[in-house]
Amino acid sequence: MLTHVAEGVLVHESEFLQSNAVVVQGRDGVLLVDPGITRDELACIAADLRLLGQPVVAGFATHPDWDHVLWHEAFGDAPRYGTARCAASLRELLVQPDWRDQIAEGLPPEHADEIPMELLGLVTALPAGAERIPWDGPTVRVLEHRAHAPGHAALLIEDSGVLVAGDMVSDILMPFLDLQAHHPIEDYLAALQLYESLADDVRCVVPGHGSVGEGDQLRERLRLDRAYVLTARDGGDFDDPRIGRPAPWDWLTDVHEWQVRSLAEQSRNEETGRP
């Protein structure tokens, strides 16, 4: 079910990790961001859009993770955009003969048979340095950064003050760093600074996973994310409700501990000059 979160902006929340698909209404149709997750949920979004009388005229993937690059035939063949780096990452994946098997390894077992692969990842690259999504609707700024995944971007819907954050500033997930990047800590801190520079213009924040928040909640989520990343870098005790006993899922603590170990190993390798 689509829920209004701001003027001209609606959200559909999936059962899987509270994944949020975002609909931005334009004059002749909608921009659809990160639709997911199961076939039934995608069909539900399409049915809701039919009731609104607005077709999908453009799509956008905030980053190349599988759960953000899904599609359904009922959405039609509108252009589906992503940053150039996001699109390149997906092209590199989809030319591999075993790409379906690679993705299947990361699918949630309870939903694996319900997730459509047929149109996954067919993303068109925005021109390098593009600052806005090319569509006939409200101005949507593209804010690319290097945190979490290659070619990750947030979107700022200027008229309504909605920040579509991608896999950042979640109230249920701690920061997931891109451990394949050369500078995962620095990349993440830079992205948080980018988001903070927009905070005065944000009246509503929609994370890729988790609860939609009011504008004043963005700063608190940024503070919590920054504290997590700095503690992962500098050491010390984590004081974060998204891990440990208060966490919504037990496996988050496992991911957290693996992430911290990996960062510590990277740091040791840098100090000793090992690759």
- Report residue 270's pLDDT band, with 50, 70 and 90 as the boundaries: low
Contact 75, 59 (CB under 8 A): yes
Is residue 85 within a helix (H) or strand (E), and if so which, with residue range? helix 84-94
Cis-peptide into 37, omega within 30 deg? yes
Q: How far apart are CA 154 and CA 149, in angstroms?
A: 12
Q: If you ran DSSP here, which 8-state letter would residue 127 be given?
A: P
Q: Which domains does the chain have, with CATH numbers?
A: 3-272 (3.60.15.10)
- Say yes or no to pLDDT of 275 above 60: no
Q: What percent of the chain has pLDDT over 70?
A: 97
Least confident of 48-52, 109-113, 118-122, 149-153: 109-113
Phi-psi region of 198 (alpha: psi -120 to 50; beta: other; left: phi over 0): alpha
Can you tell me which residue has the tokens 């800590």? 185
Contact 178, 148 (CB under 8 A): yes
Instruction: Give the mean pLDDT of the chain.
Output: 94
Of residues 58, 57, 32, the one with CA closest to residue 45: 32
C-alpha atoms less than 13 angstroms from C-alpha of 43 in its C-beta half-sphere: 6
**Residue 7 vs residues 126, 143, 217, 244: alpha-carbon distances, Å:** 26, 21, 19, 37
Of residues 66, 56, 13, the one with CA closest to residue 207: 13
Can you tell me which residue has the tokens 């997590």? 228
- Say yes or no to pLDDT of 251 above 90: no
- Say yes or no to pLDDT of 129 above 80: no
Residue 34: the pLDDT is 98
- Say yes or no to pLDDT of 156 above 70: yes
User: Within a 10 A sphere around the Cβ of 58, how many other Cβ atoms?
Assistant: 22
For 173-221, the pLDDT digits (tens) are 999 999 999 999 999 999 999 999 999 999 999 999 999 999 999 999 9
pTM, full prediction: 0.94
Which residues lie across from 23 on neighbouring strands?
A: 10, 32
